Amino acid sequence: MTQDTLPLVIEPLALQSIAEEDDLLLVDLSTPHQFSQAHIPGAVFIDYGHIVGMDRPYTGLLPSEQSFEHIINSIGLTPQTRVVAYDEEGGGKAARLIWTLHAMGHERASLLNGGLIAWYRESFPLSNEPVIRHPNPANQHYAVDFSRQPVVADTDYILGKLDDPQLGLLDARSIEEFNGVARYAQRAGHIPGAQHFEWTRALDAEANYRLLSKQTLQPMMDELGLTQDREIIVYCQSHHRSALSYLMLKYLGYEKVRGYPGSWSEWGNRTDTPVAT
């Protein structure tokens, strides 16, 4: 399997067949305890809290370019590296890493379908051995620039597009959050015009939390009016859950998809943003 054929979503069996290749980097975004107990052999650990920024009450922001640059260089990630990310929860944290890599222009990133759950339940090998990182030498430093790729939507961008019929908004939170019954910001509700698609609806629990098939997912999006000809912006409370929604849409072949870092923690805590319930 070459770089040109490495899919956005990779199966455990396919990963096992290429796990020893030099340009492949497995990244584990499970909890520190889970990683110490069992991880995929050779995977490096990244704490999810280190790949998101915070400016209270706003959470789930893009990390600073400097901090993310430090992380990727500390694990030896280069422009040629093929990243396969996974976690223990269904893919939200791993997808957030992939979205962040896309935001800096690094497209060589894949999600392990089913993550650690599928890997473990299907009896692929696990390890609890410490993993030695191989940082990039100074002359191979990989610079981060989050202005390169159009996968990020900020509040002003959304406000300027709310009346655009070509814009679609996908809210990945619970129905209680969407309807304003549950409140985790100063104001409750959703962005006007948003469609509700709770993030775990994309997953098949009976298939070890893999993504549903494209043939199943696309009609679900079409029914909501979130068709492939529109630009889709995904959000949740902090662009953790909706990171999987972003990856789902990219997996389906959507070309115009953006994630909203900060998400409802920003929109619901500002006073200049309209709210629907």
Helix 92-103 vs helix 241-252: crossing angle, to nearest 10: 70
Of 51, 202, 236, 243, which one is the catalytic site residue? Answer: 236
Dist. CA 49–CA 54, nearest whole Å: 10
Is 58 annotated in the active site?
Answer: no
- Write phi, then psi, for 204 (nearest 5 degrees): -110, 100
Please give, one letter per residue, the 3-state secondary structure of 53-92.
EEECCEEEECCCHHHHHHHHHHCCCCCCCEEEEECCCCCH
Helical segments of 146-240, H only: 155-159, 175-179, 214-223
Instruction: Count, in order, helices (H) and strands (E) of the chain.
Output: 10, 13
Measured in residues, the chain has a length of 277
Cβ 8 vs Cβ 65: under 8 Å: no
Catalytic residues: 236
